[in-house]
Amino acid sequence: EKGGYDYFMLKEIAEQPKAVADTLLGRIGASGELTLDEIRIPAAELREATKVVIVACGTAFHAGLIAKYAIEHWTRVPCEVELASEFRYRDPILDQRTLVVAVSQSGETMDTLMALRHAREQGARVLAICNTNGSTIPRESDAVLYTHAGPEVAVASTKAFLTQVAACYLLALYLGQVRGTQWGDEIRAVVRDLAQIAGQVERVLATMEPVRELARSLAGKDTVLFLGRHVGYPVALEGALKLKELAYMHAEGFAAGELKHGPIALIEEDLPVVVVVPSPRGRSVLHGKIVSNIQEIRARGARTIVIAEEGDEAVVPYADHLVRIPATPTLLQPMVAAVPLQVFACELATARGNEVDQPRNLAKSVTVE
Ligand code: F6R
C-alpha cells in the first residue's frame, strides 16, 4: 500500500505532481478562463464581496498565508488570514459581504469547524477548500472547492499542502475573473504558468539526492532557521513546521526583513539557515534584499542553505549549499520551493531514527479544540 516506498510520506511527496495536476484538471478552460461552476456562490455575490477571510490551522494556515498575496494582488479585495483557533475569540468583523474561506485537508479539524460556524452565525458566506469528500467542514459550508490530492495518510501534510495552494490560486484567479479586476494579460499568463507547475514539481523531485545527503549530515544539529520574503515567508514557516513535527528539532521561520529586529542575534558559527530566494526576474527589489540578508548571516557564521531559481547567479558566492528550483513567476514559487523543504525534513527525521509517518504526540486529524 506504500507503493514501494518506505513511508507514506515519501509516497505522498512523490505523488505531488499528480495531485496538483488533478486539482487543476477540468478547472482551466482552453482559452485560459477558469470554470469553477462547482462554486455555487452566485457570481453577483462574489463581485460584491468586500473582504476575504481565510481560516485554517497548521500547514493549511500556511497555504492561506500564501493565498493572501495572490488574492490581494489579483483581485484587490482585502484578505485576512487567521489561525482558526484564534478567530472566534476576538470578535471578528463579519457580514454578508465577507467571504470566509476555510482550508482543511481532513475537513474535520475542530478549530476550523468552530471558526466557520462562527462566521456563518454572523451571516458570512463560507467556502471550504477541502481534500475529503463529504467531511464535516464542506458539509457545513455554503460551497466547496475540493483539492484532488487523494487520501493523505502520513501525519505531516505534503501533497495536500501543494493542492491547497493550487486551489487557493484557482479561487484567486476566479475571483479576479468574476470581478473583472486586473483580468488581463497577467492573469492569463499566470493560468498558463499554473498549468506548467506539476511538471516543474516533477523536475524538483528528480534532483533531491543532494538535499537528502545534506539533511543526513545535519542530523546532529539542534536548531535550523528558515528565512523568506513575500510568499517565501510562509514557505519558511512551513519548512520550519515540517522540521519540528518530524525531526523534533528547534526550527523557526522568519521574514528575512525581521532579522535585524531580533532574530539575527541567534546566528552563530555553523548554524544551518535555509533561505528561500525569490525570483531575480519578477520583483527584483525583493531579490536584492534577500541576497544582502544571506551575506549578513553568512558574515556572522551561518551555514547557508540557499533555495534559488535556476540561473540565479547572484546567490552563488554566499551559498554553502545551493538547491536549484525551476524558474516560476514569484507568486507560484511556493509550490516548487516547498518541495525540497519537505524532503529535507523527512530525511532528517529518518536520520534521527524518528517515525516519519506517525510523529510523536500528533494525530492526522485534530477533532478536539
Ligand atoms: C502539518 C499538519 C497539520 C495540519 C493541521 C490542519 O504537517 O499536517 O499542521 O495541516 O492540523 O489539518 P487539516 O488541513 O486537516 O484541517
Residue 58: alpha-carbon gap to chain centroid: 10
Summarize pLDDT for 39-61 with one digit per residue, the tens: 888 889 999 999 999 999 999 99
Indicate if ligand 1 lies below 6 Å from the C-beta of 147: no
Indicate if ligand 1 lies below 6 Å from the C-beta of 98: no
Residue matched to cell numbers 488570514: 81
More confident residue, 360 or 126: 126
- Residues sharing a CB contact under 8 Å with residue 9, sequence separation 6 or more, in sequence order: 154, 156, 158, 246, 346, 356, 357
pLDDT at 181 (0 to 100): 64
Measured N-to-C along each axis, helices 333-351 and 159-179 cross at an angle, to the nearest 10 degrees, of: 170
Summarize pLDDT for 144-170 with one digit per residue, the tens: 999 999 999 999 999 999 999 999 999
Strand-pair partners of 15:
none
Summarize pLDDT for 274-328 with one digit per residue, the tens: 999 999 987 778 999 999 999 999 999 999 999 999 999 999 999 999 999 999 9
110 three-state secondary structure: helix
pLDDT at 39 (0 to 100): 83
**Nearest CA-CA partner of 162 in 262, 261, 60, 82:** 60
For a pocket test of ligand 1, which of 57, 104, 364 has the largest count of ligand atoms closer than 8 A to its C-beta? 57
Q: What percent of the chain has pLDDT over 90?
A: 83
Cα three-residue angle 202-144-334, rounded to 5 degrees: 30
CA distance 22 to 150: 9
State in Å: Cα 64 to ligand 1 middle. 12
Rounded CA Rg of the chain: 20
Q: How confident is the model at residue 182 (pLDDT cuts 50, 70, 90)?
A: low
Summarize pLDDT for 103-115 with one digit per residue, the tens: 999 999 999 999 9
The whole-number average pLDDT for the span 6-13 is 96
CA distance 223 to 123: 45
Residue 12 main-chain phi, psi, to 5 deg: -70, -35
